[in-house]
Structure 1
């Protein structure tokens, strides 16, 4: 009898406990969603490229990418999917231990940044962004997740180089 109760309790709690993990992979295969996923393996390859490490900017860039686990960027102009992405994002924020870094509205775009504390001051282990609104007259929703040991001073340069929507807003994070 105890085994049945434990099993039933585990079965009922699993979806609630599992919800705390950001899972936006369901959007990656949708036709109406543009997805960019860069894994830790790619960052390892990039860090092994023989670059001029005498240049401080180049070295800072190498240090940043060596400590990244992944970057995921999902973009859609589909209002229904955007609403679902927004709902999933907000559910993740409510159920996880992320803290709001900043939020702002610029013209018809609303942007929110959240993070989990990192290894030291000025670093985060996860950086999340949700951008919603209108861009060039089109509805847009962008969800970005960066995981690793992230130096907030350097991450905006990487996002800008990768042409991530919302990268300009990362410069505003202090």
Structure 2
């Protein structure tokens, strides 16, 4: 029985460590951070919406199935270097599959996913942007976890004003 518990904990350890990789950026001076949890999504899902607005209904369905959104942005060169190292480590440890790469207008953007219940859903969408945004060097880490409908996701990322959201909209057209 003890061996079973130890084996289970060891198999879960990489997933537990992965989710912790980026939280250290929350309190750094030169990092803009936003973290939304499932509690926030559940609160938003309780908002009364008109039933004759199907787009709003689909949007609410998307957010009520999310677990967490983490966005970290920095233009500080030391922080950007650390972000690059942490992203590389995260990608090597995880079960993420590359979805798309975009290199244009001074931005190098990579999207990764963890497969979901079918081809239209993912358990995690991970994006890393490194380059220039509005003429400034910038790195952005975005991680969204939950039961994510890819067809609705670009609307959410655009509403959150995430750099790279436009490229995600294009990725949805390709999938």
User: Equivalent residue for 1:139?
Assistant: 137
- What is the TM-score with the length of structure 1 in the denominator? 0.87
Unaligned runs of 5+ in 1: 1-12
Task: Report the 3-state secondary structure (helix = DSSP H, G, I; strand = E; otherwise coil) of the residue aligned with 1:172.
Answer: helix
CA shift in 2, pair 1:120/1:21, >3 Å: same
| Structure number having the greater helix percentage | 2
Say which of 10, 23, 28 aligns to 1:30: 28
Say which of 61, 65, 72 aligns to 1:63: 61
Shift of 1:19: 8.0
- What is the TM-score with the length of structure 2 in the denominator? 0.87
Shift of 1:18: 6.7
Name the CA distance, whole Å, in 2 between partners of 1:46 and 1:168: 24
User: Equivalent residue for 2:70?
Assistant: 72
Say which of 92, 95, 103 aligns to 2:93: 95
Structure 1 segments, 4+ long, off by >3 Å, are: 16-20
Name the CA distance, whole Å, in 1 between partners of 2:44 and 2:123: 20
| Alpha-carbon RMSD | 2.1
Say which of 117, 120, 134 aligns to 2:118: 120
The Cα offsets for residues 26-45 of structure 1, whole Å up to 9 and x where unpaired, read as 01100100001111001001
Query: Which of these two proteins has the greater Rg computed from alpha carbons?
Result: 1
Structure 1 contact 111–129 (Cα < 8 Å) conserved: yes
CA shift in 2, pair 1:45/1:121, >3 Å: same
User: Equivalent residue for 1:42?
Assistant: 40
Structure 2 contact 115–121 (Cα < 8 Å) conserved: yes
Name the CA distance, whole Å, in 2 between partners of 1:58 and 1:71: 19
CA shift in 2, pair 1:40/1:19, >3 Å: closer
CA shift in 2, pair 1:134/1:45, >3 Å: same
